[in-house]
Amino acid sequence: MSPQTASTPRSDPPALSAERLRAALDGAASVFAPDDDGYETARTLEHGGVEHRPAAIVRPADTAGVARAVRFARDAGTPVSVRSGGHSVFGLGHADGALTIDLRGLEGIDVDVDGRTAWAGGGITAGAYSTAAGAHGLATPFGDTGGVGVGGITLGGGVGLLARSRGMTIDSLLGAEVVTADGEVLRVDAEQHPDLFWALRGGGGNFGVVTRFRFALGEVSDVVGGVMLLPATPASVAGLVAAADAAPRELTMILMVMTAPPMPMIPAEWHGRVVVMANLCWSGDLDRADAALAPVRNVAAAAGGAILDGLRTGPYAALLEGGPPAGSTVAVGRTFFTDGLDEPAAAHLLGELESVDAMMRAVQLRVLGGAVADVADDATAYAHRGAAVLGNVAAVAPTAAAAAGYTPWVETLADRLRGTSEGVYANFALDGGPATARAAYPGTTWDRLAAVKRTYDPANVFRGNVNVLPG
């Protein structure tokens, strides 16, 4: 699925001249044109399955190189897409015929231990950042995998294993360095360009290329976390959601109801069967961990015992392992919010997972509340603070055509699980079309974002995202 463009018609852009691009950049970035060695590698997304072919890919070495690339694209009438360093599962970091600005050359991090802040390059991954900060007993909340790019997860919101205790990633964002659509470099924070700073916290990549982020760091010593795998029953699925919702805010739980993959740590008799995988992180006092985890263990015992119990004490960064599976597969999915999940809804969910033959099908449930809900809806561009659960329904297939065949199933199940809750989470959206954008940014949030877009990107140069049109 391709990102939507602005509502005004656009003619096809002129063919990009790699020679002119190299001359304009003057050594400020590596350039990969379609005929160059390295182009195929540069355009590949780690999880496979997305076959976008940019007109060229540039990998700047610094902010000045990014600014030159943006100015070149603007003057040439070439669309821009931005890859922020991670796995870009749904392919919005690349676009056919675009000039892709790949930020993986901007991977530095500067930790101010005494000041509890860090400046991080726009191409660094959550795993690399968390390892560097964790060496000082510090952390910023990101997601649940190390391979995600800090830029992408931050701009969309950031809901991960520290969400209930420390908030979303955007709640730790203190400032940013941004290259706007005209190639200007801005320092942005609560006092400088505060409207843009508000928009960056959840409004996606609509407003410029963020080359550096300034984050607050919190003290995080060892945590208790890891994966528990349980038999999937209506009682176990609904019970885990209820336990996570009732838990102290120091416990965050991400549930994946899924067909068990053929991994060595999973007993062979469970391969291909529907299970519930609970990814947990207790970030409070270690002597309170057992009591906090007792309700989870009770659910496991009632289901017949855990299939796998991988909970352990260790550094937070160690929980951010891996990423999407490698290989040529394509995912189709729908994100939703819901007020909860009772046993009848869980029974329906399990029946639906058994009803299709996708090579991988799953429903992810991220239980929110805690510090996420402490922030007002209008304080940032993420406007769903009161939602109890963030969900995502997905099916994986070997080809795009095969995956598309599961779209009706995915949409129907997501609609059933969402109930009366509205909205979508921008970071889980597969497209940037108008309906998705309006659901991600409802009401006055949309109006405010559109006004910021009009100020900083009136021509909608940055549209390879969940796209907000200039208001």
- For residue 92, name the pLDDT band (cuts at 50, 70, 90): low
Give the tens place of pLDDT for each residue, 118-145.
Answer: 999 999 999 999 999 999 999 999 999 9
Which range has the worst mean pLDDT, 7-21, 30-44, 405-419, 441-455? 7-21
As a three-state string, the secondary structure of the chain is: CCCCCCCCCCCCCCCCCHHHHHHHHCCCEEEECCCCCCHHHHHCCCCCCCCCCCCEEEEECCHHHHHHHHHHHHHHCCCEEEECCCCCCCCCCCCCCCEEEEHHHCCCEEEECCCCEEEEECCCEHHHHHHHHHCCCEECCCCCCCCCEHHHHHHHCCCCCCHHHHCCHHHHEEEEEEECCCCCEEEEECCCCHHHHHHHCCCCCCCCEEEEEEEECEECCCEEEEEEEEECCHHHHHHHHHHHHHCCCCEEEEEEEEECCCCCCCCHHHCCCEEEEEEEEECCCHHHHHHHHHHHHHHHHHCCCCCEECCEEECHHHHCCCCCCCCCCEEEEEEEEECCCCHHHHHHHHHHHHHCCCCEEEEEEEECCHHHHHCCCCCCCCCCCCCCEEEEEEEEECCHHHHHCCHHHHHHHHHHHHCCCCCCCHHHCCCCCHHHHHHHCCHHHHHHHHHHHHHHCCCCCECCCCCCCCC
Give the CATH architecture of domain 109-219+441-456.
2-Layer Sandwich (3.30)
pLDDT bucket at 58, cuts 50 / 70 / 90 = very high
Using 50, 70 and 90 to split pLDDT, how confident is the model at 53? confident
pTM exceeding the 0.85 threshold for the entire prediction: yes
Look at the chain and count its residues: 471
Does domain 18-105 sit in CATH 2.60.40.10? no
Tokens for 330? 């394509």
Q: Give residue limits of the domains in the chain.
A: 18-105, 109-219+441-456, 223-428
User: Is residue 50 over pLDDT 80?
Assistant: no
Q: What is the mean pLDDT of the chain?
A: 91
Classify the C-alpha dihedral 20-21-22-23 as positive or negative.
Answer: positive
Query: What CA–CA distance (Å, rounded) separates 240 from 246?
Result: 10
Per-residue model confidence (pLDDT) at position 331: 85
The amino acid at residue 97 is: G
Q: What is the pLDDT of residues 208-257, one digit of tens each?
A: 999 999 999 999 989 999 999 999 999 999 999 999 999 999 999 999 99
Compute the distance between CA of residue 46 and CA of residue 120 in angstroms, rounded to an integer.
22
CA–CA gap between residue 3 and residue 294 (Å, rounded): 45
For residue 4, what pLDDT band results from cuts at 50, 70 and 90?
Answer: very low
Q: What is the mean pLDDT of residues 450-468?
A: 94
- Output the CA–CA distances (angstroms, integers) from residue 426 to 204, 371, 435, 469, in the order listed: 7, 19, 12, 15
24-51 average pLDDT score: 79
pLDDT for the residue numbered 12: 54
Domain 223-428 of CATH type 3.30.70.120: no
Using alpha carbons only, what angle is made at residue 86 by residues 80 and 92, rounded to the nearest 5 degrees?
A: 40
């062979």: which residue's tokens? 268
More confident residue, 471 or 102: 102
Residue 243 sits at the vertex; the CA angle it makes with 237 and 248, to the nearest 5 degrees, is 150
pLDDT of residue 422: 84
Q: How far apart are CA 390 and CA 409, in angstroms?
A: 19
What does the alpha-carbon distance between residue 157 and residue 316 come to, in Å, rounded to a whole number? 20
For a pLDDT cut of 90, what percent of the chain falls above it?
Answer: 78
pLDDT at 285 over 70: yes
What does the buried/exposed string (b/e) look like for 400-411 if buried means 16 or more CB atoms within 10 Å of the residue's CB? eebbeebeebbe
Q: What is the pLDDT of residue 8?
A: 38
